[in-house]
Amino acid sequence: MQPFTTLTATAAPLLRDNVDTDAIIPSREMKSVSKTGLADGLFAGWRYTQIGGRNPDPAFILNQPDYAAAQFLLSGENFGCGSSREHAAWALAEYGFRAIVAPSFNPIFRGNCIRNGIVPIELESGPVANAAQALPLTIDLAAQTVVAASGQSWHFAIEAEAKAMLLGGLDMIDLTLQRRDRIEAFRAADRHQRPWAYFAA
Amino acid sequence: MTTNTGIGRTLFDKLWDMHCIDDLGDGTGLILIDRVMLHERTGGVALESLAAAGRTVNAPAQVFATMDHVVDTLPGRTDATIMPTGRDFILATRTAAQAAGITLFDLGDDRQGIVHVVSPEQGIILPGLTLVCPDSHTCSQGALGGLAWGIGSTEAEHALATSTLRVRKPKSMRITIEGSLAAGVTAKDLALHLLGRFGAAGAKGHVVEYAGSAVRALEIEERLTLCNMATELAAFTAIVAPDEKAFAYLEGRPYAPTGDEWARAVESWHDLRSDDGARFDTDLRIDAADVAPGITWGTSPQHYAPIDAVVPAYEGVAARDSREAYDRALDYMGVAAGQSLRDLRIDAAFIGSCTNARLSDLRRAAAVLKGRHVAPGVRAICVPGSSRVKAAAEAEGLDAIFRNSGFEWRESGCSMCFFAGGESFGAGERVVSSTNRNFESRQGPGTRTHLASPETVAASAIAGMIADPRLLQTGN
């Protein structure tokens, strides 16, 4: 996973509430048993003029020249609601998005972002969009700040573990496996308490 | 990281404490995962990715997989699918499941079905267990008193490899529903009512405990429907304190404990309830009498109105998104503010999904359909939630009622709850559906979905327009 430290880039405003994962990556665009090959399907229902087609709809924000190189996305309440499909985070990451600013995120989607190098930033996105326009924003994860070209800045909250994962590009499985003895001891003791929770291997 | 032990713990606190192996700091716990469930859509990729990283499943006996998302539901189905690449998902999941040594409810297995229907049916979810699945509707299973929640594929790899997840402890919410639901009002209407009232972000990040006399009065399959749509409220998950109904439902199920172990388990499960005086971060109450049969009019599950109402004006929407989103929803759905919902002609009716395709759902829909026929020009489809549900329905003749009324009777699976590139409804077609999501193009490119209870779907199929099932004499 690509570490995230600090990045200056354009932020595309998609200021709708309840943007769902079906909209981020329609199920019909999830064609293979794979985490890749999804960028073209990102926002396919909005981005192209026809379902299944690839002719860009010029009205959609990501098709506008000012936002062609956007690496941040600004959106509304409850971003990433709906299906748990991690393909939504994979598609956003593959397209090039590194951070999303929204007042709130769906919990599963938020976890998927953190595991794929996308920083979920919980902030009212309207003021950020007003300040940014088509000018770059700087996001500093260590400092937990979003800074507009105008100098206006916002502080955001993120839990320590998510921050460490994103800063280091860490794989949490390796980290957890370091506690394997502790986990197995807990399971062995628990098995006496709750034998019905365990099936014979 | 243990919560205040002794007095005042919520049910969720108790489940958290039972499963918290280590405090990882900053409110995050290393949580023991008792069961992992997978399906071919998001599970195959998790198993493959795990194997590609050189890792193995830590406790394969605790892991179950089923085929539900991309399998065809037409009679005589095989591994071939209408979805162009669906077969790849089926084969990949089968191969990976075999290699990992996990239990698979494959095509042709009489235990196959939608993951959240199969798990309770088989007794895989039990009170007091933690269960995760890379599927957002895993929250359904909280109806049995376990902590069950949806995760992504990468988290599923973590759970498979370590039997744990690193979880930041969610906030808690109690929604107390007192009183009685009126005749003809279902758990689905209740779920939609809550969405209309509190909005699609109304429980964001919280573990919701459903409580109160109206919830206790619900049968287990109704509780499964109620908990199913907690993800539409953006909840972390939902849970109902297990009671005698839950124990009776589970006793004798294939993976439930037996004999002395069953007795011991039930004894311990009696403690799985929120203590008197337990404090919730948010505590909401509603009166069951306020709930009416309802239907969605827009493209978010919060776009809900009682069925005898009109499409609300923007100012009249309780849980409002932006004006732009409202206008966009009306335009997409082809409806106008002030228009009576019951005047809308429909093209199709769909009964199925993890929300509403259990035996009791099919029985109630069949009671509406019996002796009646679907209106000309309406395509009507029933997809049982599992192969066991299908067999049980056939054993009591429900399939004949569905078929005789003009419904297609299918093999079990998720089917047309969503469009994955295979079967779909048409552009601009209006569908009344017992499913859980009415997002743009969810059931087909440009398809307009109205969410409702199975009996409302059945009544609408007969009328050829959105219809109130209470106006049809049900039963014989």
What residues of A are in contact with residue B261 (Cβ under 8 Å)? 195-196
Q: Where are the alpha helices (DSSP H) in chain A?
A: 21-24, 44-47, 87-95, 107-114, 125-132, 160-168, 172-177, 180-193
Does the pLDDT of residue B17 top 50, yes or no? yes
Which residues contact residue B86 at a Cβ distance below 8 angstroms, ignoring those fewer than 6 apart?
B70, B71, B72, B420, B421, B422
Does A40 touch chain B if contact means CB atoms closer than 8 Å?
no
For the stretch B162-191, pLDDT in tens is: 999 999 999 999 999 999 999 999 999 999
Read off the pTM: 0.96
Tokens representing residue B332 in the block? 């997409």
Residue B1 has pLDDT above 60, yes or no: no
ipTM: 0.94
Enumerate residues 48 to 87 of chain A having a beta carbon within 8 A of any beta carbon in chain B: 51-52, 76-78, 81-86
Non-local CB neighbours of B161 within 8 Å, separated by 6+ positions: A173, A176, A177, B50, B55, B56, B57, B58
CA distances from A32 to A37, A38, B119, B236 (A): 8, 9, 26, 28
> What residues in B contact A188, CB-CB < 8 Å?
none
Nearest to B280 by CA among B226, B201, B210: B210
What pLDDT band is residue B5 in, cutting at 50, 70 and 90?
A: low
Element (H, E) at B453: none
Residues of B in contact with A159 (CB under 8 A): 26-28, 168
- Is B252 within 8 Å of chain A by CB? no
CA distance B88 to chain A (A): 7
Interhelix angle B359-369/B387-395, rounded to 10 degrees, is 40
**Closest-CA distance of chain A to residue B41, Å:** 8
Query: Are B197 and B306 contacting, i.e. CB atoms less than 8 angstroms apart?
Result: no
State whether B420 and A51 contact (CB < 8 Å).
Answer: no
B434-476 pLDDT tens trace: 999 999 999 999 999 999 999 999 999 999 999 999 998 544 4
Full set of structural domains in chain B with CATH: 28-167 (3.30.499.10), 294-470 (3.30.499.10)
Closest alpha carbon to B364 in B228, B212, B211, B475: B475
Compare CB distances from B420 to A27, A161, A195 and report the shortest one's residue: A27
* One pLDDT digit (tens) per residue for chain A, 201 residues: 889 999 999 999 999 999 999 999 999 999 999 999 999 999 999 999 998 899 999 999 999 999 999 999 999 999 999 999 999 999 999 999 999 999 999 999 999 999 999 999 999 999 999 999 989 999 999 999 999 999 999 999 999 999 999 999 998 999 999 999 999 999 999 999 999 999 986
**What tokens does B348 get?**
């199709």
Q: Which of B2-16, B69-83, B222-236, B247-261 has the lowest mean pLDDT?
A: B2-16
Q: How far apart are CA B430 and CA B448, in angstroms?
A: 5
Q: Do A106 and B32 touch (CB under 8 A)?
A: no
Task: Kindly list the residues from chain B whose CB atom is less than 8 angstroms away from the CB atom of residue A33.
Answer: 44-45, 48, 88-89, 92
**Gap between the Cα atoms of B47 and A40, Å rounded:** 25
Whether B56 and B96 have beta carbons less than 8 Å apart is answered as no
Alpha-carbon distance of B460 to B468, in angstroms, equals 7
Under an 8 A CB cutoff, do A22 and B441 touch? yes
Residue A1 to residue B327: CA distance in whole angstroms: 40
- What is the arithmetic mean of pLDDT over B52-64? 97
Render pLDDT for B326-367 as a digit per residue (tens, 0 to 9): 999 999 999 999 999 998 999 999 999 999 999 999 999 999
pLDDT by residue (tens digit) across B247-267?
999 999 999 999 999 999 999
* CA nearest to A88 within chain B: B152
- Cβ neighbors of B350 (< 8 A, separation 6 or more) are B380, B381, B383, B415, B416, B417, B425, B431, B432, B433, B434, B435, B443, B457
B6: CB partners within 8 A, 6+ apart = none
Pairwise CA distance, residues B192 & B303, whole Å: 9
Cβ contacts of A186 on chain B, cutoff 8 Å = 21, 32
Q: With an 8 Å Cβ cutoff, is B355 touching chain A?
A: no
Phi, psi of B89 (to 5 degrees): -65, -40
Amino acid at B193: H
Distance from CA of A16 to the nearest CA of B (A): 7
Minimal C-alpha gap between A107 and chain B (Å): 6
* Residue in A with minimal Cα distance to B424: A28
Residue pairs spanning A and B at CB distance below 8 A: 198
B133 in Cβ contact with B151 (< 8 Å)? yes
H/E run at residue B250: helix B244-250
Q: What is the pLDDT of residue B343?
A: 84
What rounded mean pLDDT belongs to chain B? 96
Please give the Cα distance from A167 to A3 (Å, whole number). 5
Residue of A nearest to B47 (CA): A33
Is pLDDT above 70 for B203? yes
Give the number of C-alpha atoms closer than 13 A to the C-alpha of residue B5, restricted to the C-beta side.
4
Q: What is the pLDDT of residue B475?
A: 46
Question: Per-residue pLDDT tens for B86-103?
Answer: 999 999 999 999 999 999
Closest residue to A78, CB basis, from B85, B234, B261: B234
pLDDT of residue A51: 85
Q: Give B69 to chain A, closest Cα distance, Å.
A: 11
Average pLDDT over every residue of B321-329: 91
Rg of chain B in Å (alpha carbons): 21
Residue of chain B whose Cα is closest to the Cα of A23:
B440
Q: How far is A38 from chain B (nearest CA, A)?
A: 14
Q: Which two tokens stand for residue A68?
A: 């062609």
CA B249 to chain centre: 18
> From the CA of B81, how many Å to the nearest CA of chain A?
13
CA distances (Å), origin A95, targets A22, A116, A190: 16, 12, 44
Per-residue pLDDT at B4:
52
Q: For each of the domains in chain A, give its residue range(s) and CATH number, in order of start.
A: 6-170 (3.20.19.10)
**Per the CB < 8 Å rule, is B201 touching A104?**
yes
Cα–Cα distance between B84 and B134 in angstroms, integer? 22
Give mean pLDDT, residues B26-54.
Answer: 95
Per the CB < 8 A criterion, the answer to whether B457 and B348 are in contact is: no
pLDDT of residue B3: 53
Contact A106 B204 (CB under 8 A): yes
Parallel, antiparallel, or unpaired for β A137-140 and A6-9?
antiparallel
At A136 the pLDDT is 95
Mean pLDDT of B294-301: 97
Assess contact for B388 and B111: CB atoms under 8 A.
Answer: yes
From A47's Cα to the closest Cα of chain B, the distance in A is 14
Quote the pLDDT of residue B476: 40
Name residues 40-59 of chain B within 8 A of A (Cβ). Answer: 41-42, 44-45, 48-49, 53, 55, 59
A194 in the Ramachandran plot: left (φ > 0), alpha (ψ -120 to 50) or beta? beta
Contacts of B158 in chain A (CB under 8 A): 172-173, 176
The pair of three-digit structure tokens given for residue B340, joined into one six-digit string: 């009576």
